[in-house]
């Protein structure tokens, strides 16, 4: 959902991690220059995750607004892997001394990567970065690309969690969505995943063109029969700049969509799953560590075509975006800087940026997390908190702030309360 992607293979390009100084306490810009302290003062930097974007797919789905590009015959896997390593090497000064707590390889369709290529990528990551021993390392995969031996190799390379883009088990709906697999292939993919991985996620979509309430029930029941540790259930949205936006299909109306959501919640709850985020359900202890880091306003370094980063320093927070087109990204990365845009988040925008993520968590967030991640006192948003309470969208006590049932239904309205006018003149 959203957001996200020097000659690299020479040993001289690899930093000497034993002798390099720890500069993580000093704010840097993307060029590595030292910066004067600003208004922000973070006493503790948040956990850091790594996102790696793989931009190619077999076929562009009509609803997809991610940075994905159809494979025209073949793709330059070797060149892309070299560019990823170069991108990571160039980024090291910004994260020096910080440990990686989760890795997510998204796309596109990363499972198009060869087993050898994935092993090479994981080797580069382990060479250049300190990875926490308990790190969650997720790879997205689509059923049309599942091969038993390839996924056995993926696990041996270090992948410990799969996220499988099922979307539906109904072959007719899959065809309308432009998916390259059918219902039987979706089931086979899950069986392969269960053979090799204890931890995996299934992505399902609802409110599909022509979908009925009974068909939603069948999709959810079919998924639950496989006992997935994690399920993501997304409402189909017609995103700008997609085929569906240009030629919109007939989709369920708001009333039917609401009924579908109620059915989904009821079945998931009855099966013992915890609804911990707007679109995410998990068995106890199987919540996605990587996504929770996003929702708790943690940091992430994004490498690869179109990848986004959010990086905190003690005196500022920076967002980055890489070049989107694969060729442009590879050329830029090999030239030493794959970053196309870099902006510093204005302190005045921190409350909205934080709440845009944290209020997606159904059980809310600890009060002290706001100050820890933004450097601002909770009193600085007292006016907004009172307004949200007055409207019945939010509740709080001395420990926790969380959306009410109404706040979950009108999440956009709740988040907008924390949007302030720009402090730039």
- What is the reported pLDDT for 36? 39
| pLDDT over threshold 90, residue 31 | no
- What is the reported pLDDT for 72? 85
Q: Is the whole-model pTM more than 0.75? A: yes
Q: Terminal CA-to-CA distance of the chain, rounded, Å?
A: 33
**How far is it, in rounded angstroms, from Cα 70 to Cα 72?**
6
Report, as an integer, the average pLDDT of 28-34: 37
Per residue, what are the HEC states of 328-395?
HHHHHHHCCCCEEEEEECCHHHHHHHHHHHHCCECCCEEHHHHHHHHCCCHHHHHHHHHHHHHCCCEE
Closest CA to 337 of 358, 348, 321, 315: 321
User: Among 7-16, 74-83, 223-232, 250-259, which stretch is predicted with the lowest mean pLDDT?
Assistant: 7-16
**How far is it, in rounded angstroms, from Cα 85 to Cα 111?**
19
Residues ≥6 apart with Cβ < 8 Å to 307: 4, 5, 51, 52, 53, 321, 322
| pLDDT over threshold 90, residue 150 | no
Q: What is the pLDDT of residues 285-336, one digit of tens each?
A: 999 999 999 999 999 999 999 999 999 999 999 999 999 999 999 999 999 9
Provide the CATH number for the domain formed by 27-292 in this structure.
3.20.20.70
**How far is it, in rounded angstroms, from Cα 101 to Cα 49?**
6
**How far is it, in rounded angstroms, from Cα 94 to Cα 163?**
29
* Phi and psi torsions of 423, nearest 5°: -90, 10
Q: What is the pLDDT of residues 234-289, one digit of tens each?
A: 999 999 989 998 999 999 999 999 999 999 999 999 999 999 999 999 999 999 99
Q: What is the pLDDT of residues 72-110, one digit of tens each?
A: 888 999 999 999 999 999 999 999 999 999 999 999 999
Give bridge partners of residue 308 from the DSSP assignment. Answer: 321
Preceding amide of 108 cis, omega within 30: yes
Average predicted confidence (pLDDT) for the chain: 89
- What is the reported pLDDT for 144? 83
* Phi and psi torsions of 322, nearest 5°: -85, 165
What confidence tier does 423 reach under pLDDT thresholds 50, 70, 90? low
CB 307 within 8 A of CB 49: no
Q: What is the pLDDT of residues 327-385, one digit of tens each?
A: 999 999 999 999 999 999 999 999 999 999 999 999 999 999 999 999 999 999 999 99
* Class of CATH domain 349-420: mainly alpha
Domain spans of the chain?
27-292, 349-420
């Amino acid at each position: 959902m959203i957001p996200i992607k020097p000659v690299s293979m020479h040993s001289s390009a690899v930093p000497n991690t034993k002798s390099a100084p720890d500069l993580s306490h000093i704010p840097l810009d993307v060029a590595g220059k030292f910066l004067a302290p600003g208004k922000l003062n973070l006493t503790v930097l948040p956990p850091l995750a790594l996102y790696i974007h793989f931009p190619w797919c077999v076929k562009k789905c009509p609803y997809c607004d991610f940075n994905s590009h159809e494979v025209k015959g073949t793709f330059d896997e070797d060149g892309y892997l070299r560019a990823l390593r170069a991108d990571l090497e160039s980024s090291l000064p910004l994260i020096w001394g910080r440990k990686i707590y989760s890795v997510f390889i998204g796309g596109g369709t990363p499972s198009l990567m060869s087993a050898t290529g994935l092993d090479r990528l994981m080797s580069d990551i382990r060479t250049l970065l300190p990875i926490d021993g308990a790190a969650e390392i997720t790879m997205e995969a689509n059923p049309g690309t599942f091969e038993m031996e390839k996924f056995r190799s993926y696990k041996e390379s270090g992948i410990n969690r799969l996220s499988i883009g099922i979307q539906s088990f109904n072959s007719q709906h899959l065809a309308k969505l432009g998916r390259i697999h059918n219902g039987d292939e979706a089931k086979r993919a899950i069986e392969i995943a269960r053979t090799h991985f204890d931890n995996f996620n299934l992505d399902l979509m609802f409110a599909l063109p022509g979908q009925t309430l009974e068909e939603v029930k069948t999709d959810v029941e079919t998924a639950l029969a496989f006992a997935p540790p994690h399920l993501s259930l997304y409402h189909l949205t017609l995103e700008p700049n997609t085929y569906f936006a240009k030629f919109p299909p007939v989709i369920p109306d708001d009333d039917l969509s609401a009924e579908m959501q109620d059915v989904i919640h009821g079945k998931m709850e009855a099966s013992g799953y915890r609804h911990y985020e707007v679109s995410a359900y998990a068995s106890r202890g199987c919540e996605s560590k990587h996504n929770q880091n996003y929702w708790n306003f943690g940091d992430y370094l994004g490498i690869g075509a179109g990848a986004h980063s959010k990086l905190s320093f003690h005196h500022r927070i920076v967002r980055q975006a890489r070049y989107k087109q694969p060729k442009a990204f590879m050329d830029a990365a090999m030239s030493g800087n794959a970053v196309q845009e870099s902006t510093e988040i204005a302190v005045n925008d921190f409350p909205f940026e934080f709440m845009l993520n944290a209020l997606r968590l159904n059980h809310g967030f600890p009060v002290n997390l706001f100050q820890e991640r933004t450097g601002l006192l909770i009193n600085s948003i007292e006016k907004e908190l009172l307004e949200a309470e007055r409207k019945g969208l939010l509740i709080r006590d001395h420990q926790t702030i969380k959306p009410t049932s109404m706040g979950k239904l009108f999440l956009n309205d709740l988040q907008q309360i924390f949007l302030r006018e720009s402090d730039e003149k």
